[in-house]
Amino acid sequence: MTDILKINAADNVAVAIVPQKAGAQVNIDGKSIQLLQDIPAGHKIALQDFAEGENVIKYGYPIG
């Protein structure tokens, strides 16, 4: 089972399928990301640093 899901190739966030603990290392698209806080199931995980005003892309579309 996949614990983290990137829904669309263009997305810059992924979704936690199961709860994730702070400090965990997750691998998405060959990239290792260390989680800085607990992530509840269904919540987003940033796959990049975001500048102020930069769009969050989920499902291949900007969501905010």
pLDDT at 64 over 90: no
pLDDT at 1: 54
pLDDT tens digits along 4-60: 999 999 999 999 999 999 999 999 988 999 999 999 999 999 999 999 999 999 999
Into which CATH architecture does domain 4-48 fall? Roll (2.30)
Question: 25-28 and 44-46 as β-strands: parallel, antiparallel, unpaired?
Answer: unpaired
pLDDT at 25: 94
CA distance 44 to 52: 18
Q: What are the domain boundaries of the chain? A: 4-48
Tracing tokens 């965990």 back to the chain, one arrives at 24
